[in-house]
Structure 1
Amino acid sequence: MEIESFRALLTGQGRDLLAELREFTPSEELALATRLRRDHPAELVRAAFEQARLRQRARDKFGADAEAMFFTPDGVEQATRRSVADWRARRFAGLGVARLADLCCGIGGDAIALARAGVAVLAVDRDPLTCAVAEANAAALGLAELVEVRCADVSEVDTTGYDAVFTDPARRTSRGRVFDPEAYSPPLSWAVEAARRTPYGALKVAPGIPHELVPDGAEAEWVSDHGDVKEAVIWFGTGAAAPHRATLLPGDRTLTGGDLPDPEAGPVGRYLYEPDGAVIRAHMVAEVAAQVGGRLIDPMIAYVTSDRLVPTPFAHAFELTDVLPYNVKKLKALLRERKVGTVVIKKRGMSVTPEELRRQLKPSGPNTATVILSRTDHGPLMMLGQPVGAWM
């Protein structure tokens, strides 16, 4: 989308078109576009359809806000999910941050969350269209007084006088994802220096960042939303007592640690605990094992087992009915005997795919079961059971 086409969407005519396209479906597009072109410029109609499609895609990340916001294709893909941005904004506000420089602000998702938390934001990006979209989004949501958008190279921005810096480097190129943090734009090393120039700082990185790349004295946080790991953030200036943090949304449930030794492995007990992905990424399975008085089923597998049922929000618990060596024929017979037609399959350390295994099992019947497959030092296991409760 060209910036001129985008600005046309901000006119009364453009907004009227967007309102008319709010709930359109792909099957209606051809006839609807033909009708609208009779009364509106073809380029404006094209831009409105593109924006309407982007808004529909953005609903998953931004909820009701998506209907008022504006997007670019990259912006929808790369913007922070609202729940995660709101969490980070609450952390900044809780630290006493009043003025923050949001470097590489994109379409303004984080700037909006920060402004809603009462933080005045300088939002910086070097792409003119992206800046125009960020500015329009702040205005659309009534936050323009708290968000100043500046089109500039972040390396040229003076952050003197700001309480904090937040940097979200680009981790994609035209060829796909970038895995080397020094190939981020800007590089990890530059972003670390920028974060350390203000009292507080945060740097968004890929969840798979090697732990050895986390700078000394920083706090690394992994965030999941409804069980899916969304991002990792390196924090500066928080004075955290522990180097790692795992945060589970919704509910702002946080586990800190990262210093415990790996738990010992032992036999499978009555209960199996599957730690949240953020806990696993943060290397804090040991903290969960300590909470439930558990052990690993294998030194290299993130399943914790215990003979006790202990409530924890940081792992899903399963009560096991069967623990057997992995064998597809035996598993199929067992499920048939128990009239299991709905099977949830989980696995770690095994090459089998749940979809292929389900086709082999051909489950049938009114009952449900969870099948958990895992590699162990004593050979692959299959464990059958049922989930136990939902703890917050």
Structure 2
Amino acid sequence: MPEELEGLLTAEGQALLAGLRGHDPVNDLAAATALRRTHDARLVAAALSQTRLRQRAVAKFGAADAHRMYFTPHGLEQSTRASVATHRAQRFAAFWPEAVADLCCGVGGDVIAMLRAGLAVTAVDRDPLTCAVVAANAAALDLADRLEVRCADVRDVGGGGLDGVFVDPARRTARGRVFDPESYSPPLSWALDAAASGAPGAVKVAPGIPHEAVPPAAEAEWISDGGDVKEAVVWFDGRGDRVRSGARRATLLPSGATLVGRGLPDPAVRPVGRYLYEPDGAVIRAHLVAEVAEELGGGLIDPTIAYVTADELRATPFATAYEVTDVLPFGLKRLKALLREREVGILTVKKRGSAVDPEDLRRRVRPRGPHSATVFLTRTSGAPTMLLAAPARVEPPAQT
């Protein structure tokens, strides 16, 4: 594999990749047959494989970067989305470190973001191909002047003596996803110790990390992008002035809105009001629904369900608002009749606290008509309930 990357970095390899940029993978066989008449078969295979990876990478890195970068299948799968990496790099830069070590750097998504944030980066990985890829990516994006790449086991490097430390333990093996944190590579306990030695330090973890697994001296941040929770980060600050020990934070991209917990008690349960608010997934993961409910002047529809209800419509970046038109006990016949009566043909089904499969429900009610609606399958005070609603829009204040 390193030899294949070397071939792609030659003038011949670069010309092949440039010619394949708009290539449709459906035509791989025909393209391979034609190109092998004038190019080495291994180089053609490498170029076609890299083209497919670049096309998949556009969703994470954007077309401008993805079509200049190099990837491995595993590296692309594990890489951080550019928007998330940029947010984290900017937060690192705000701590004022001059240099950051990216331990388990992968193909360099975080490395690139930190270099662009003005940081010098030492990228460490034990896989020679991965090290070659991250170096090639920095060079392709004209960022190599502040990058040092070390091919080594991160446990032999550690975090001591560095201004900042970022660790992204591998949570997948050839057998699939790893769920035991001590089976990560390196183990989560080692990663947390290494990050705690930095000033600052951070560890990328799965969004499902138990809150009790976060060290008391650290801050945990859950990050969503476009409404999808992408990851969590455990932050340390050796200087002690930019991380709130024990704090929980939710950050929403692309807006950058961030919410920090204040240790509020669970909101009270109340009847469904005129509006229903669906908190962002990062807010829910960070256990900050109470903070959102207080901001909205609302309460919960059920003690175990993360939907907030209120009688007043208020603007918030941390939840999506819906105007409730109907509150009904769960029943397919009743729902089907109501949708037919209102000529609803576009039905969005959301669920929380319900075992009903949304696609199965949509097939059974067979919505038809020109109108749209959203149905929430949930519980209110323990009872299975259907809430029919429509997205609510907060009007901007009138100009005077």
Aligned to 1:61: 60
Give distance in 2, aligned partners of 1:59 and 1:33. 23
Aligned to 1:136: 136
SS at match of 2:169: coil
| Residue 228 (structure 1) aligned with residue 232 (structure 2) | no
Give distance in 2, aligned partners of 1:258 and 1:373. 30
Give distance in 2, aligned partners of 1:364 and 1:160. 64
Aligned to 1:92: 92
Aligned to 1:39: 38
TM-score, normalised by the number of residues in structure 1: 0.98
> Which sections of structure 1, spanning at least 5 residues, go unmatched?
none
Change (3 A) 1:382 1:279: same
Cα deviation code 1:64-116 (max 9, x no counterpart): 20000000001110000000000000001111121100000000110100000
Change (3 A) 1:391 1:38: farther
Change (3 A) 1:378 1:234: closer
- Confirm or deny: 8 A CA contact 1:344 1:371 kept in the other structure: yes
Aligned to 2:302: 298
SS at match of 1:375: strand
State which of 239, 243, 262 in structure 2 corresponds to 1:239.
243
Give distance in 2, aligned partners of 1:199 and 1:48. 41
Moved over 4 A (4+): none
Cα deviation code 1:196-241 (max 9, x no counterpart): 2122100000000111100011000000000000000000013326
Aligned to 1:109: 109
Q: Which amino acid aligns with 1:336?
A: R
SS at match of 2:252: strand
Residues 304-383 of structure 1 correspond to what in structure 2 (within 5 A)? Answer: 304-383=308-387
* Alpha-carbon RMSD: 1.3
Aligned to 1:153: 153
Aligned to 1:201: 201
Give distance in 2, aligned partners of 1:378 and 1:136. 56
Q: Which amino acid aligns with 2:282?
A: A
SS at match of 2:276: strand
Q: Which amino acid aligns with 2:393?
A: G
State which of 263, 278, 292 in structure 1 corresponds to 2:267.
263
Give distance in 2, aligned partners of 1:280 and 1:177. 23
**CA positional deviation for 1:160:** 3.8
Q: Which amino acid aligns with 1:101?
A: A
Aligned to 1:273: 277
Q: Structure 1 residues 23-32 or 315-324, which shifts more?
A: 23-32
> Which sections of structure 2, spanning at least 5 residues, go unmatched?
none
Q: Which amino acid aligns with 1:253?
A: A
Aligned to 1:78: 78
Aligned to 1:19: 18
Q: Structure 1 residues 322-331 or 251-260, which shifts more?
A: 251-260
Give distance in 1, aligned partners of 2:84 and 2:382. 40
SS at match of 2:144: coil
Q: Which amino acid aligns with 2:334?
A: K
Q: Which amino acid aligns with 2:91?
A: R
Aligned to 1:118: 118
- Confirm or deny: 8 A CA contact 1:69 1:137 kept in the other structure: yes
Q: Which amino acid aligns with 2:279?
A: P
Aligned to 1:384: 388
Aligned to 2:292: 288
SS at match of 2:212: helix
- Confirm or deny: 8 A CA contact 1:258 1:282 kept in the other structure: no
- Confirm or deny: 8 A CA contact 2:276 2:321 kept in the other structure: yes
SS at match of 1:255: strand
**CA positional deviation for 1:242:** 6.1
Change (3 A) 1:37 1:390: farther
Cα deviation code 1:30-86 (max 9, x no counterpart): 111111000000000001111000000100000020000000001110000000000
Give distance in 1, aligned partners of 2:181 and 2:246. 23
**CA positional deviation for 1:179:** 1.2
Change (3 A) 1:179 1:142: same
Give distance in 2, aligned partners of 1:250 and 1:208. 21
Count of aligned pairs between the two proteins:
391
- Confirm or deny: 8 A CA contact 1:242 1:257 kept in the other structure: no
SS at match of 2:17: helix
**CA positional deviation for 1:159:** 3.8
**CA positional deviation for 1:376:** 2.9
Cα deviation code 1:117-172 (max 9, x no counterpart): 00000000000000000000000000000111110000111544321100000001
Give distance in 2, aligned partners of 1:57 and 1:40. 25
State which of 255, 279, 283 in structure 2 corresponds to 1:251.
255
**CA positional deviation for 1:352:** 0.5
State, as a whole percentage, how many aligned pairs show the same letter.
63
- Confirm or deny: 8 A CA contact 1:342 1:366 kept in the other structure: yes
